[in-house]
């Protein structure tokens, strides 16, 4: 049973966009350390391989979960593609403010009225802007689109560097599906990711009898109002978004492994990525769930239970009881996922999570007696811990303090 099932429908409606934004922040963490290790050009290649190997897998999973997969596999239209973007960690709502136009099933456009990723890289200079908005976006937009239709092409109308410097919208793109378009060659890592436990994990179907919206069939909406979805649907969405993160991390690990000489170097980079995103994500989740208003030792286990590090429950074999977390080997360990990096030998990620709620918190981690696995006890120290350098790196992103605003959810019809 999903750990998100313990949350109320209102709590889930607040948590889902937070999870989507947290997924975007994975790269604000990981790519900073890739630049330091490999340089800017190789960092760009890591990002391309990472997203191109993960997004086709998780895009198809979300289509199936919410009932908007094309009737014929691979024959989705632009509405299918746009719905997928609205539920993609690469395009978290409002932070990456996609606005859509549908001309007909095979032609559409989108623009970004606000691009949080651009806000993060613009201060770094034009080379970094071009790297993200040209080198990375060209292959990865197509990789996401071809999950719905292999003959889809995403092409720029205009994009940064911005001329003039305050140009709005930040960018605009066409999406055209045409059988004459050649099918792109998938990155080799895609086949590896498709065989992972995360890619093939079975989750409980959405209960159509639950109060609220159970799917995303019907028209494309300008903005998804997550409060209109049923509790059951929101639980499934939350679990799927966590799997998106694990699939992206799996792709990240594969790309980084190609560029490191030793397992120790790979492990170091993966752990730095995890600590940064785990800490900032924990801060945001804690606020969204109101856990910052509780006694920290009481709130920290609830925060751990909602954190993507431990979800979905079918993927990560973990149990939170009182102030103690117990973790046993599960499917996530077979993939070498985030939780496999943690344990008595390394506690920095768990510390980053609980300190996202209160800097005085810590974890005492020990092996389980007589069986495989480990347990972590949440404790409070007298002195606050300094912020981890990995968390400080992610805090530079505008996503760290981004605030979601209420939006009206309106149907989009062809124009």
For the stretch 43-89, pLDDT in tens is 999 999 999 999 999 999 999 999 999 999 899 999 999 999 999 99
Please name every residue paired with 107 in a beta bridge, in sequence order, or none if there are none: 104, 176
Based on DSSP, count helices (H) and strands (E) in the chain, helices before strands.
14, 10
Q: What is the pLDDT of residue 7?
A: 98
Structural domain contains residue 303: no
Q: How far is CA 402 from the centre of its chain?
A: 16
Give the tens place of pLDDT for each residue, 348-376. Answer: 999 999 999 999 999 999 999 999 999 99
Q: What is the pLDDT of residue 253?
A: 98
Give the tens place of pLDDT for each residue, 209-254. Answer: 999 999 999 999 999 999 999 999 999 999 999 999 999 999 999 9
Residue 305 neighbours by CB distance under 10 Å = 19
Instruction: Inform me whether the pLDDT recorded for 415 exceeds 80.
Output: no
Length of the chain: 415
**What mean pLDDT do residues 333-339 have?**
98
Instruction: Inform me whether the pLDDT recorded for 337 exceeds 90.
Output: yes
Q: What is the pLDDT of residue 310?
A: 98
Phi/psi at 360 (5° precision): -80, -15
* 91, two tokens: 């395009």
Q: pLDDT category, 265, cuts 50, 70, 90?
A: very high
pTM surpassing 0.95? yes
Q: What is the pLDDT of residue 161?
A: 96
Structural domain contains residue 199: yes
Structural domain contains residue 276: no
Structural domain contains residue 89: yes
Domain total for the chain? 1
Give the tens place of pLDDT for each residue, 123-141. Answer: 999 999 999 999 999 999 9
Q: What is the pLDDT of residue 184?
A: 86
Residue numbers of the domain that contains 229: 8-244
Instruction: Inform me whether the pLDDT recorded for 145 exceeds 90.
Output: no
Instruction: Inform me whether the pLDDT recorded for 104 exceeds 80.
Output: yes
* 339, two tokens: 């939780």
Instruction: Inform me whether the pLDDT recorded for 97 exceeds 90.
Output: yes
Instruction: Inform me whether the pLDDT recorded for 179 exceeds 80.
Output: yes
Contact between residue 46 and residue 258 where contact means Cβ atoms under 8 Å apart: no
Give the tens place of pLDDT for each residue, 12-42. Answer: 999 999 999 999 999 999 999 999 999 999 9
Q: pLDDT category, 413, cuts 50, 70, 90?
A: confident
Phi/psi at 213 (5° precision): -75, 130
Please, what is the average pLDDT of the chain?
Answer: 96
CA nearest 44: which of 108, 109, 139? Answer: 139
What is 325-357 written as a DSSP string? EEE---HHHHHT-GGGG-BTTB-HHHHHHHHTT
Q: What is the pLDDT of residue 171?
A: 97
Report the distance separating Cα 407 and Cα 269, nearest Å: 38
Structural domain contains residue 204: yes
Q: What is the pLDDT of residue 46?
A: 97
Sheet order of strands, 318-321 included: 318-321, 324-327, 374-380, 361-367
Please name every residue paired with 96 in a beta bridge, in sequence order, or none if there are none: 115
Contact between residue 183 and residue 148 where contact means Cβ atoms under 8 Å apart: no
For the chain, percent of residues with pLDDT exceeding 70: 100
Report the distance separating Cα 277 and Cα 254, nearest Å: 19
Any alpha helices (H) in 188-307, and if so which ranges? Answer: 189-194, 197-200, 231-257, 263-288, 296-306
**What mean pLDDT do residues 391-403 have?**
97
Structural domain contains residue 331: no
Structural domain contains residue 113: yes
Contacts of 175 (CB under 8 A, 6+ apart): 78, 81, 82, 107, 108, 109, 110, 145, 152, 153, 154
Report the distance separating Cα 376 and Cα 180, nearest Å: 56
Structural domain contains residue 76: yes
Q: Which long-range contacts (CB under 8 A, 24 or more apart) does 336-344 make?
A: 336/250, 336/253, 337/198, 337/246, 337/249, 337/250, 338/246, 338/249, 338/274, 338/278, 338/308, 338/309, 339/309, 339/310, 341/267, 341/270, 341/271, 341/274, 342/309, 343/367, 343/374, 344/374
């Amino acid at each position: 049973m999903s750990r998100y099932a313990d949350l109320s429908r209102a709590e889930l409606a607040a948590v889902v966009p937070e999870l989507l934004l947290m997924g975007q922040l994975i790269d604000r963490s990981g790519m900073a350390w890739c630049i330091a290790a490999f340089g800017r050009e190789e960092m760009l290649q890591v990002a391309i391989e990472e997203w191109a190997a993960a997004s086709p897998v998780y895009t198809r999973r979300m289509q199936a979960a919410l009932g908007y997969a094309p009737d014929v596999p691979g024959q989705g239209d632009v509405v299918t593609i746009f719905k997928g973007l609205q539920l993609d960690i690469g395009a978290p709502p409002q932070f990456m403010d996609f606005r859509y136009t549908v001309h007909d099933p095979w032609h559409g456009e989108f623009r970004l009225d606000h691009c949080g990723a651009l806000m993060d890289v613009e201060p770094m200079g034009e080379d970094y802007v071009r790297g993200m908005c040209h080198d990375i976006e060209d292959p990865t937009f197509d990789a996401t689109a071809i999950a719905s239709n292999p003959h889809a092409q995403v092409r720029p109308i205009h994009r940064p560097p911005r001329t003039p410097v305050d140009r709005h919208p930040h960018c605009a793109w066409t999406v055209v599906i045409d059988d004459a378009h050649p099918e792109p060659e998938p990155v080799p890592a895609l086949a590896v990711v498709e065989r992972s436990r995360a890619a093939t994990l079975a989750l409980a179907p959405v209960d159509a009898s639950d109060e609220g919206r159970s799917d995303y069939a019907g028209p494309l909406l300008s903005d998804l109002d997550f409060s209109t979805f049923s509790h059951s649907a929101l639980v499934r969405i939350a679990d799927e978004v966590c799997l998106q993160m694990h699939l992206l991390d799996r792709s990240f690990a594969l790309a980084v492994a190609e560029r490191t000489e030793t397992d120790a170097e790979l492990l170091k980079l993966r752990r730095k990525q995890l600590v940064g995103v785990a800490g900032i994500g924990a801060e945001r989740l804690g606020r969204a769930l109101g856990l910052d208003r509780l006694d920290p030792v009481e709130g920290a286990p609830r925060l751990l239970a909602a954190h993507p590090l431990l979800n979905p429950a079918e993927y990560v074999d973990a149990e939170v009881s009182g102030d103690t977390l117990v973790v046993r080997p599960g499917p996530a360990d077979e993939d070498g996922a985030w939780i496999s990096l943690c344990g008595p030998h390394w506690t920095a990620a768990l510390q980053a999570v609980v300190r996202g709620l209160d800097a005085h918190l810590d974890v005492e981690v020990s092996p389980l007696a007589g069986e495989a696995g480990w347990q972590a006890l949440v404790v409070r120290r007298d002195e606050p811990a300094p912020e981890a350098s990995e968390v400080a790196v992610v805090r530079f992103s505008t996503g760290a303090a981004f605030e979601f605003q209420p939006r009206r959810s309106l149907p989009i019809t062809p124009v």
